[in-house]
Amino acid sequence: MSSRDQKLMWWGAALLLFVLLMLVTPKIPQDQSYHNFADRRNYFGIPNTLNVVSNFPFLVIGVIGLVLTLHGNTFALSLKGELWGWTAFFFGIASTSFGSAYYHLKPSDARLVWDRLPMTIAFSSVMAVFIIERIDEVTGRASLAPLLGAGVVSVGYWWFADDLRLYALVQFVPCVAIPAMTIALPPRYSHSSYWLWAAGFYLLAKVLEANDMKFYRWTKFLASGHTLKHLSAAMVPVFIIIMLYKRNMRNERQSMLDRWKGQWRGTNAVRDERDTTGSKWRYYWSGSQEQAQSLVSET
């Protein structure tokens, strides 16, 4: 089977799996209690102040990422698809600042559209970039537009059909696929561990979001879980920027999983050698004269 046929087979399998999931899973409507956030305090005439202003880091980080990506090729991007993908990612991050702030001024389904739309741009574009890095440049570049389209469609489908399944899939797949591919597939660049740090902060953001009131109480009503969620999520592009700035092309491509296996085998080998030496010394003190003489002659 040719490489092209294999790619078509994988895309077809993914499409079939998606159709099956949509057929066998129930519709997920938007829970209106989602809009009832714990912290509703107003400062300086700004409704829900902390949930609004905590989006400002997205703007700063997104703009910095865009400048570093487009000006002088600071990140030394060697592939055209990477340039497009990272530009779309940082544009999505910067736009999230406006969309989320607009939503939190007066939470509702109508405003939530503008919160979720830029986030799907970030999710979809980073997935395409990851395919470029870990699988194939041509496949990743070709997937950028379809993935971005799927993200936009997922938000539109939720808005018109009141069904979150497609949006949840667009958000969930990168969260699982990126850490898994980070560990299992050999990287094109160094400093892959930053991907895991970014994934960890995103997971923390989801925990904070799900426990909005609990964290509001635990912080003695200083900051709610949702406010902290914004700050945690903003750390994701921070770690990505650091990774892009520090990384370099790897001559020997080895997956993180293979490296861990090698380190584990090396540790075990040292431990086995230590146990063997220790056993010999025990023989020296308690064993026969021949064993003691053998140890002395070896050392």
Q: What is the pLDDT of residues 153-183, one digit of tens each?
A: 999 999 999 999 999 888 888 888 888 888 8
Q: Which pLDDT does position 128 carry in this prediction?
A: 92
Domain range for residue 140? 42-256
- pLDDT tens figures, 54-78: 999 999 999 999 999 998 778 888 7
* pLDDT value at residue 299: 43
Position 293 scores a pLDDT of: 53
- Has residue 264 been placed in a domain? no
**Higher model confidence: residue 98 or residue 136?**
98
Query: 111 in a domain, yes or no?
Result: yes
How far CA 95 is from CA of 35, 50, 138, 205, 209, in Å, comes to 21, 18, 27, 18, 20
Q: What pLDDT, on a 0 to 100 scale, did the predictor assign at position 157? A: 93
> What is the predicted pLDDT for the residue at 266?
72
Is the model's pLDDT at 271 over the cut of 80?
A: no
Give the pLDDT band of residue 86 (cuts 50, 70, 90): very high
Q: Which two tokens stand for residue 158?
A: 């939720």
* pLDDT tier for residue 32 given thresholds of 50, 70 and 90: very high
pTM: 0.82
Percent of the chain residues past pLDDT 90, beyond the cut: 55
- pLDDT of 275: 52
Strand partners, 189: 249
pLDDT in tens, 3-26: 666 666 766 777 787 778 778 889
CATH of the domain at 81: 1.20.1070
Considering its fold, how many domains does the chain have in total?
1
Would 20 be classed as within a structural domain?
no
d(CA 139, CA 122): 18
What pLDDT shows up at residue 281?
45
101-105, 192-196, 261-265: which has the minimum mean pLDDT?
A: 261-265
> Which two three-digit tokens encode residue 147?
């993935």
